[in-house]
């Protein structure tokens, strides 16, 4: 049976979990924005957001006393958060490629 988080670690667990969601969302948003606008400062802030995600996952892992396969799940989550926006970006570009090319008028 899974043991609940100790009461003294509850708020740390809660806030680090919330920060994982916020940092992951901001990383995805900033990644897409950096693809649309090629400013270097956006890319720097994107990776700072991902670094905040790594720190919050590390804090959640520490506060929740993850062991065994939970550590593997945390690692897979961090890797997935890194590659998911990249994959989604490529998927959107390839599926909308037809919409971006100009269409010639058909002859009647």
Tell me the per-residue pLDDT of 71-81, one tens digit each, with 9 for 90 and over.
Answer: 999 999 999 99
pLDDT over 90 (residue 99): no
Q: Could you tell me which of 48, 58, 52 has the C-alpha nearest to residue 12?
A: 58
| 104, part of any domain | no
pTM: 0.80
70-72-78 Cα angle (round to 5): 105
The tally of domains found in the chain comes to 1
- Structure confidence by residue, pLDDT tens digits, 21-31: 999 999 999 99
| 101, part of any domain | no
| 84, part of any domain | yes
Q: What is the mean pLDDT of residues 14-18?
A: 95
- Structure confidence by residue, pLDDT tens digits, 28-85: 999 999 999 988 999 999 999 999 999 999 999 999 888 899 999 999 999 999 999 9
| 15, part of any domain | yes
65: number of Cβ within 10 Å: 12
Enclosing domain of residue 62:
8-96
pLDDT above 90 covers a percentage of the chain that reads 69
């Amino acid at each position: 049976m899974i043991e609940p988080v100790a009461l003294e670690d509850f708020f740390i667990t809660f806030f680090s979990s919330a920060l994982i969601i916020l940092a992951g969302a901001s990383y995805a948003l900033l990644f897409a924005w950096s693809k649309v606008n090629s400013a270097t400062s956006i890319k720097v802030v994107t990776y700072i957001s991902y670094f905040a995600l790594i720190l919050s996952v590390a804090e959640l892992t520490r506060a929740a006393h993850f062991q065994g396969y939970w550590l593997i799940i945390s690692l897979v989550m961090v890797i997935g958060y890194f590659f998911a926006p990249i994959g989604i970006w490529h998927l959107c570009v390839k599926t909308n490629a037809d919409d971006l090319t100009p269409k010639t008028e058909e002859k009647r």
